[in-house]
Amino acid sequence: MLVFAGLGLNEKTITNEIIEEVKDADKIYFERYTSPPMPYNEYKFSFQYEQVGREFIENGREILEQSKEGKVVLLTYGDPMIATTHMDLKMRASEAGIITKVLHNTSIITVLPGETGLHSYKFGRITTLMAEAQIAPLSVYEVIRSEEHTSELQSLVNLVCR
């Protein structure tokens, strides 16, 4: 079994459901590439985990093999299904006959509209620029440069920069 568990926005938003899931997990991974390192993101857990990066998740072989044999929990910032790499891993797990479970949580994608007073459907396509990446994928630049999102992006930049 492979459990995708979203930790929310900070160390105080881990749910009781996640705590229950990790109690009988055979392996726990904490993927930390989808959020920039910030002081409030220094989680202190009462359980042991292995920190993994993007390559580990994108490759997926090890985590999928372990999920065939036992229960693996993948902890992520925010909501685990916001990142396309997590969705891809979930689809590959399903194709391999591995049972999956998703524990959703709050993410910046759900919080930003409420905090800015804008509606989420006005933001257009969402893209992620990882802080650790030396070179961003072209898709990031294409989404930001896209004419259909220019006015919404500019409105958000103006609001945030005030």
Question: pLDDT of 40-77, one tens digit each?
Answer: 446 677 888 998 988 899 999 999 999 999 999 999 98
- In this structure, how many other beta carbons lie within 10 angstroms of the beta carbon of residue 158? 9
> Tens digit of pLDDT for each residue in 72-126?
999 998 899 987 889 999 999 999 999 999 999 998 888 888 888 877 767 667 7
The answer to whether 39 touches 137, Cβ cutoff 8 Å, is no
Question: Rounded distance, CA 154 to CA 118, Å?
Answer: 12
pLDDT of residue 110: 82
The answer to whether 78 touches 106, Cβ cutoff 8 Å, is yes
Q: What stretch of H or E contains 31? A: strand 27-31
